Amino acid sequence: MAQVRIVTDGDAQLDPELARQLNITVVPLTVQVDQETFDDECGARNEQLLARMEQERVRPFVVGPTADQMQQVYQQITRSTNLILSIHSAAPLSATYDNACAAADAFLGRCDIIVMDSQSTSLGLGILAREAAKMAQAGQNLGEIVRCIRGMIPRIYVVMVTDSLDYLERSGRISKSQCILGSMLGIKPFLAIEDGEIIPTEKVRSRDKGLDKLVEFAGEFTRIEEMAILQSTSYPTDETLLLRERLESFFPGKPFPIIVYGPLLASHVGPDGMGLVAYEGLGQREVF
């Protein structure tokens, strides 16, 4: 029986060597900033992009992979298998999922391609692609992998706090009046990704209070499989070190890697966001 192949997009946080070992096809994001268009390979330009956004207040747009690009990827993979699971960044945040669906339609009757909306981003998407690929290498069939990944999606959480109300207003997450009033009052929105949508869930009056909300979120779990810090730099800041220290009080011995978030998330929350990605695992749900 042919082995299932896993496809994802460049929004996934995946170590390139691990992706190679697991035979995951990662289709790069195509990013447009002003008049420049570039392929985002393995997130190599994320930190540079966020610094530019901070200085120039430019907004990146994810314009690919297009349906044609996805179709070319699927065509190449069909030379070795007719079973493909294509997992992509949250549909409300980019056109990648819809483009993948359009590309898959061209293979109806010739290849079994299932396109899934991860309802997540960054490490959340990377975890799903990684675990799907491990199951594929273990010989599980397409249906079994899809059922397991669907069970994982509700157990992945992304929350953030940001100072950049202008980016939230541009992306339609808050109104213009909310942006102006919030900026005047120094309000920082606390954001959560729910069903793939970025939702402002609460308001805090300072960055310190936003940090408290991140810690409060982490404290709701009695166990986690993985948790990482999202921020705009690859090095730990004083804020990061404080957050790590407080997270370790809940989960002693757990690593909390830093992830520089990519252009997709940056286009919605701006260049100065800080957040957490948490995966609680497939065991018994233990959230208060």
Mention every residue, 6+ apart, whose C-beta is less than 8 A from residue 174.
Answer: 165, 168, 182, 189, 200
**pLDDT tens digits along 5-21:** 999 999 999 999 999 99
DSSP code at position 12: B
Q: Are residues 36 and 57 in the same domain?
A: yes
Q: What is the pLDDT of residue 167?
A: 77
The reply to whether 183 and 74 lie within a common domain is: no
Domain count, the chain: 2
Q: 172 with 223, same domain?
A: yes
Same domain, residue pair 134 and 166: no
The whole-number pLDDT of residue 168 equals: 76
* pLDDT computed for residue 202 by the predictor: 83
Specify whether 37 is located in the same domain as 130.
Answer: yes
pLDDT at 285: 47
- Structural domain boundaries, residue 274: 156-279
Q: Which of 124, 154, 184 is the last residue of a domain?
A: 154
* Below-70 pLDDT ranges, the chain: 1, 171-186, 283-288
Q: How far is CA 53 from CA 32, 95, 237, 271, 272, in A?
A: 13, 22, 19, 6, 9
Looking up residue 130, the CATH number of its domain turns out to be 3.40.50.10170
